[in-house]
Amino acid sequence: MPSELTAHAALDLLVAGDLTSVDLTRSILARIDASEAQINAYISLDPERALSVAADVDRRRQSGEVLGPLAGIPLAIKDVLCVRGGRTTCGSAILSDYVAPYDATAVARVLQADAVLLGKTNMDEFAMGSSTENSHFGPTRNPVDPTRVPGGSSGGSAAAVAAGEATLALGSDTGGSVRQPASYCGVVGLKPTYGRVSRYGLIAYASSLDQVGPLTRDVEDAALLLGVVAGHDARDATSVDCPVPDYRAKLNDGVEGLKVGLAREFFAEGLDPEIRSAIEAAAEQMRLAGAELVDVSLPVAGHPEYCVACYYVIAMAEASANLSRYDGVKFGHRTADADGLQQMYHRSRSEGFGAEVKRRIMLGTYVLSAGYYDAYYRKAQQARTLIRQDFDRAFTQCDLLLSPVSPTTAFRLGEQVDDPLTMYLNDIYTVSVNLAGIPGISVPVTTAADGLPIGAQLLARPFEEEVLLRGARVLEQSS
Amino acid sequence: MNYETVIGMEVHVELHTQSKMFCRCPAHHFQIGANEHVCPVCTAQPGALPVINGRAIELTVMTGMALGCQIRPHSVFARKNYVYPDLPKGYQVSQYELPLCEHGQVVIHTSDGSRKQIAIERVHLEEDTGKLVHQGNASLVDYNRAGVPLMEIVTDASIRSADEAFAYVQKIRQLVRYLGASTGDMEKGAMRCEANISVRPEGSQAFGTKVEVKNLNSFRAVRNAIDYEVQRQIEVIEEGGTVRQVTMGWDEGAATTKEQRSKEFADDYRYFPEPDLLDVDVTDEWIDGARSQLPELPDERAARFVESFRLSADDAAMMTEDRAVADWFEQVIAAGAEPATAANWISGELFRRLKDTEAAIEDVALTPAQLAELIGLITAGTISGSAAKEVFAVMWDEGGGPTQIVEARGLQQVSDTGELESQVDAVIAAQADAADKVRNGDDKPLQFLMGMVMRATRGKANPQVVQQLLRDKLQG
């Protein structure tokens, strides 16, 4: 089935003339037809546009034109990224009719690379959540087990790739939103270094943490897609001007001579025993492949009580400001009737935002308030510096860090919706990575006894995605 | 009881940059169709991000330098959170804890001729808001102005009167114009002032309760609003009341301050560092680069005019009030004109014409070289002072060089004794009585006789030559 192919395998066939983009796209669309009623990975789909772009790519390939690196590959985009002329909802009622007037830079780059855009994937509203249950457009289900959540907030993208409803997908990761759903759905999810991929056109949740990342069927596809979207962008002041290597060139160089760190704090109580042994087995595979295992300590970054608190204070503070623009004045939902400006604001926002978004806006507003700023926001910034320093120190002792992605495998729909604190603890292994700004990848390493996927997380120094991908490739080959 | 007025000023200055503070939209917004200069960034479309306009940083730092501020090598933009339809993002990108410039001072010249130093607390950079337009029942928003770079200059509480506040605002406008940082045009909203005003019994050290007065959008408003508010506060106290901490707006039409909102609950803007922008780190080399762009500032320039050109302090102040005028004046001097004469011509004839035609000096066709040439003709005795005014009028109205105009109109002064002698003789013959008096040593009618000769020559006779001829003939 072409819908099962990785992008690089499909590209080989396309280049060889053994497959057309139209056939590949049709195969994906057929899968979407068959699964969507159950999975609900997409918020919007444009099969006609996809087929017409695919046909165009096939025509250009036949005429011998030089095509982009993703030519003819069907790709899904998390509905947090703006696509010009199309509906961009961010999973929210407040943007349910919003049509973006411009393309996000990451979107422009995949289009420039001749990818075939399928549609926009489901997500937790404004990327706030770990299960894709907080969506105005209904929850997405995990293709591995539809009674389970796909993780979140990029659950739609992860589910689409896992279900054969897209060959490649883009997501966004603020505290684990690419890596955790990748792990729950059994696909690869990469969060690049902060500044590696432009955030222009990525609807902001927490600006200092957000990063666009690929969700793919294997590590090589992650390398391929990262290579397309990475690079400096003059429209994003926080994007970094540093060369983008060919991430596939050294993909199979292995890990011989590399030091892989295991932070003892990551294996403390609360970790599911199956996941613990999966990560320990992954470490052993790295050792067998020639890496040296070293014990490291992350006295601050390894402690969920510090990281999760620090993360939520900073993320919610930034979110409270980022979401102020949804006021019913310029775009988005405006209440049908209101008496005066204050009521218009109040009703438009009350009607437009879901419960989790409101909770985070209120918490964020609170931690920035006069009299509380020093106790919360300033303290969190100080903790963030310590977390960064922890990783800096660890990376003087090792080249990669290996850890779990999430303390559990995919949980059941509805299981945690009424318990935000437990929900927030899904992020204990991932949020510190965003706080430090370093790159991380989630790779499926095994399945639990109940058949649910287990992922391992690798972390690297800033802008060392190349090393990260090499390590991930070893884990993937030995799983 | 006598009261002392205590004022701190906040002046917002729109920077004269090509593009807006955080996007590439044109920064000018005067008389532009609604929402024509807008883009995803300045209308806060989801996902859009700001990128700093480096020129705005440079102009702010230059202003800070002109105000004797310390330039912070490390400064930070912050989000100031508040909600209003003219503020697209629901927060204004501004500066809070670490502004670009701090701790400066500026010398003001008050109308009684005294000078005083006013301390500048900070100069920081932020973005302007859009504008609301009310149409019947509806309110419309125009975002052309949203995101235009806005520099805020804040003083300490060292201003003591409306007169000083007026002089301070004048000084700020003069400086930002000198620097090319802003048009400083208050009528077009390029400069907007707020005053924090309180009064206290003379001799008291404690400050009274301050009232913030906004909407001081003309020089007249600065003076009138402060005078009004000071009087109002004194009356409240004299009547046994207490001044409440409120924000007032100046109502130009009613000539009163009106309460806008109570400040009993302090505004909470929830400032925090803007995560979409990197901190601004400026190196010593960059600061040197900005400093090298600083022009000679008005006070230094006036001192040099006094020193090098021997101008009076008043003339020097007048010649340096505006940078373009000072440049023009120096070009007249460079073309060889005598400085005091040049200053007189500029502050007299030229300023009168500029005022009549509402023109700026940069726009006039008359060149500094032409004025210098005209002054040269007077000094050389080629034309009389009164003829020079006629030449100036022709130069202004019709253009052309002074020498050419003098020749074309036959305005040369006649200094040739041979040519004048017959005229003088004719006047002596016609005015025999007056002539006799002069012959007998009475000088009084001499002026009368000279006038008659001037009339006979239609003003072209050189008065000194005429006087000498009359004396030679009657008293020689």
Cα-Cα end-to-end distance for chain A:
23
Q: Specify whether B240 is located in the same domain as B344.
A: no
Report d(CA B413, CA B423) in Å as an integer.
14
Mean pLDDT of B94-110: 95
Q: Does B277 touch chain A (CB under 8 A)?
A: yes
* Whether A237 and B276 lie within 8 Å, measured CB to CB: yes
Inside any domain, residue B407? no
* For residue A207, cis peptide bond before it (omega within 30 degrees of 0): no
* Of A80, A91, A45, A78, the residue nearest A352 (C-alpha): A91
Q: Please give, rounded to a whole number of angstroms, the shortest distance from the CA of A126 to a CA of chain B.
A: 11
**Residues 399-428 in A contacting B (C-alpha not used; CB under 8 Å):** none
Q: Does A82 touch chain B (CB under 8 A)?
A: yes
* Of B370, B352, B362, B365, the residue nearest B397 (C-alpha): B365
Q: Please give, rounded to a whole number of angstroms, the shortest distance from the CA of A370 to a CA of chain B.
A: 6
Amino acid letter for position A179 = R
Cβ-based contacts of B79 with chain A (< 8 Å): 321
Pairing relationship of beta strands A74-78 and A168-172 according to DSSP bridges: parallel
Reported as a single tens digit per residue, the pLDDT across B417-457 is: 787 888 888 888 888 888 888 888 888 888 898 888 888 88
Order of all β-strands in the sheet with B78-81: B91-94, B78-81, B272-273
Report d(CA B96, CA B77) in Å as an integer.
7
In this prediction, residue A416 carries a pLDDT of 80
Which chain A residue has the Cα nearest residue B272?
A368
Number of domains in chain B: 3
Pairing relationship of beta strands B74-75 and B91-94 according to DSSP bridges: unpaired
Q: Specify whether B157 is located in the same domain as B34.
A: yes
Secondary structure of B357-424 in the HEC alphabet? Answer: HCCCHHHCCCCHHHHHHHHHHHHCCCCCHHHHHHHHHHHHHHCCCHHHHHHHHCCCCECCHHHHHHHH
Which chain B residue has the Cα nearest residue A203?
B47
Report d(CA A46, CA A376) in Å as an integer.
44
In this prediction, residue B126 carries a pLDDT of 98
Inside any domain, residue B400? no
Q: Specify whether B182 is located in the same domain as B315.
A: no
Mean pLDDT of B280-285: 94
Which residue segment(s) compose the domain that B366 sits in? 298-387
Judge contact between B141 and B130, C-beta under 8 A: yes
Inside any domain, residue B398? no
Inside any domain, residue B402? no
Nearest-by-Cβ selection for B89 from A236, A320, A324: A324
Nearest-by-Cβ selection for B90 from A201, A317, A325: A325
Q: Specify whether B34 is located in the same domain as B179.
A: yes
Which chain B residue has the Cα nearest residue A206?
B275
Query: Computed over its alpha carbons, how large is the radius of gyration of chain A?
Result: 21
In this prediction, residue B417 carries a pLDDT of 77
Tokens 């399928």, located at residue: A118
In this prediction, residue B15 carries a pLDDT of 98
Reported as a single tens digit per residue, the pLDDT across B229-251 is: 999 999 999 999 999 988 999 98
Judge contact between B306 and B326, C-beta under 8 A: no
Q: Specify whether B37 is located in the same domain as B55.
A: yes
Mutate to test the interface with B, among A89, A324, A372, A385 (most CBs of B within 10 A): A324
Judge contact between B434 and B428, C-beta under 8 A: no
Distances (CA, A) of B380 to A319, A448, B338: 77, 107, 12
Report d(CA B130, CA B141) in Å as an integer.
7
Report d(CA A280, CA A293) in Å as an integer.
11
Judge contact between B155 and B119, C-beta under 8 A: yes
Nearest-by-Cβ selection for B272 from A82, A323, A377: A377
Residue B262: pLDDT band (50, 70, 90) is low
Beta bridge pairs of residue B45: none
In this prediction, residue A427 carries a pLDDT of 86
Mean pLDDT of B260-275: 80
* Whether B81 and A95 lie within 8 Å, measured CB to CB: no
* Residues of A with active-site annotation: 78, 153, 177
Inside any domain, residue B406? no
Q: What are the φ and ψ backbone dihedral angles of B470, each rounded to 5 degrees?
A: -60, -45
In the structure encoding, which two tokens stand for residue B461, read together?
């006779």
Mean pLDDT of B284-292: 94
Inside any domain, residue B256? yes
DSSP A6-46: -HHHHHHHHHHTSS-HHHHHHHHHHHHHHHHHHH--EEEE-
In the structure encoding, which two tokens stand for residue A449, read together?
């006894």
Torsion of CA A360, A366, A372, A375, to 10 degrees: -10
pLDDT at position A405 over 90: yes
Q: Please give, rounded to a whole number of angstroms, the shortest distance from the CA of B135 to a CA of chain A.
A: 15
Amino acid letter for position B475 = Q
Q: Interhelix angle for B54-66 vs B162-178, to 10°?
A: 130
Q: Specify whether B378 is located in the same domain as B423.
A: no
Q: Specify whether B364 is located in the same domain as B257.
A: no
In the structure encoding, which two tokens stand for residue A85, read together?
């002329």
Report d(CA A259, CA A295) in Å as an integer.
10
In this prediction, residue B463 carries a pLDDT of 82
Q: Does A378 touch chain B (CB under 8 A)?
A: no
Mean pLDDT of B95-99: 95
Q: Which residues contact B421 (CB under 8 A, 6 or more apart)?
A: B469
Question: What value, to the nearest 5°, has the Cα angle with vertex A217 and ends A213 and A221?
Answer: 60
Q: Does A96 touch chain B (CB under 8 A)?
A: no
Residue B266: pLDDT band (50, 70, 90) is low
Residue B287, number of CB atoms within 10 A of its CB = 14
pLDDT at position B410 over 80: no
Average pLDDT, whole number, for chain A?
Answer: 96
Amino acid letter for position A51 = L
Tokens 């918490």, located at residue: A363
Q: Does B83 touch chain A (CB under 8 A)?
A: yes
DSSP A98-155: -B-SS--HHHHHHHHTT-EEEEEE--SGGG--SSS-S-TT----BTTBTTB---SSSH
Q: Specify whether B324 is located in the same domain as B284.
A: no
* Whether B49 and A341 lie within 8 Å, measured CB to CB: no
Q: A11-20, A204-213, A261-270 — which is least confidently predicted?
A: A261-270
Reported as a single tens digit per residue, the pLDDT across B114-149 is: 899 999 999 999 999 999 999 888 889 999 999 999
Beta bridge pairs of residue A125: none
* Whether B277 and A237 lie within 8 Å, measured CB to CB: yes
Report d(CA B332, CA B366) in Å as an integer.
11
In this prediction, residue A464 carries a pLDDT of 98
| SS3 at position B212 | strand
| SS3 at position B74 | strand
Pairing relationship of beta strands B191-201 and B149-155 according to DSSP bridges: unpaired
In this prediction, residue A1 carries a pLDDT of 85
Q: Does B275 touch chain A (CB under 8 A)?
A: yes
Torsion of CA A425, A427, A428, A431, to 10 degrees: -140
Task: For chain A, list the domains and their CATH numbers.
Answer: 2-229 (3.90.1300.10)
Q: Specify whether B129 is located in the same domain as B66.
A: yes
Mutate to test the interface with A, among B35, B39, B43, B45 (most CBs of A within 10 A): B45
Q: Please give, rounded to a whole number of angstroms, the shortest distance from the CA of A408 to a CA of chain B.
A: 32
Residue A345: pLDDT band (50, 70, 90) is very high
Helix, strand, coil percent content, chain A, rounded in steps of 5 = 45, 15, 40
Reported as a single tens digit per residue, the pLDDT across B16-70 is: 999 999 999 999 998 999 999 999 999 999 999 999 999 999 999 999 999 999 9
Amino acid letter for position A160 = A
Cβ-based contacts of A81 with chain B (< 8 Å): 47
Judge contact between A285 and A386, C-beta under 8 A: no
CB burial of A452-478 (b: ≥16 within 10 Å; e: otherwise) equals bbbbbbbbbbbbbbbbbbbbbbbbbee
pLDDT at position A421 over 80: no
* Whether A377 and B48 lie within 8 Å, measured CB to CB: no
Torsion of CA B322, B324, B330, B332, to 10 degrees: -120
* Whether B141 and A330 lie within 8 Å, measured CB to CB: yes
Q: What are the φ and ψ backbone dihedral angles of B207, each rounded to 5 degrees?
A: -80, 150
pLDDT at position A340 over 70: yes
Out of B288, B317, B344, pick the residue that ends a domain: B288
Q: Does B141 touch chain A (CB under 8 A)?
A: yes
Q: What are the φ and ψ backbone dihedral angles of A63, each rounded to 5 degrees?
A: -80, 5
Cβ-based contacts of A339 with chain B (< 8 Å): none
Q: Specify whether B330 is located in the same domain as B454.
A: no
Containing H/E element for B122? strand B115-127
Q: What are the φ and ψ backbone dihedral angles of B197, each rounded to 5 degrees?
A: -120, 135
Cβ-based contacts of A330 with chain B (< 8 Å): 43-44, 88, 141
Reported as a single tens digit per residue, the pLDDT across A134-158 is: 999 999 999 999 999 999 999 999 9
In this prediction, residue B1 carries a pLDDT of 82
In this prediction, residue B465 carries a pLDDT of 84
Nearest-by-Cβ selection for B88 from A101, A102, A325: A325
Secondary structure of A405-425 in the HEC alphabet? Answer: CCCCCCCECCCCCCCHHHHHH
Nearest-by-Cβ selection for B79 from A321, A323, A369: A321
Inside any domain, residue B134? yes
Residue A194, number of CB atoms within 10 A of its CB = 22
Amino acid letter for position B361 = I
Torsion of CA B60, B63, B68, B72, to 10 degrees: 10
DSSP B347-358: IIIIHHHHHHHT
In this prediction, residue B342 carries a pLDDT of 93
Which chain A residue has the Cα nearest residue B35?
A330
Report d(CA A141, CA A139) in Å as an integer.
6
In the structure encoding, which two tokens stand for residue B424, read together?
């003088």
Inside any domain, residue B392? no
Q: Specify whether B198 is located in the same domain as B83.
A: yes
Out of B288, B323, B355, pick the residue that ends a domain: B288
Judge contact between A133 and A152, C-beta under 8 A: yes
In this prediction, residue B265 carries a pLDDT of 57
Q: What are the φ and ψ backbone dihedral angles of B46, each rounded to 5 degrees?
A: -55, 135
Report d(CA A219, CA A168) in Å as an integer.
12
pLDDT at position B263 over 60: no
Q: Specify whether B281 is located in the same domain as B306.
A: no
Distances (CA, A) of A334 to A316, B112, B238, B436: 24, 58, 51, 101
pLDDT above 70 covers a percentage of chain A that reads 100
Cβ-based contacts of A361 with chain B (< 8 Å): none
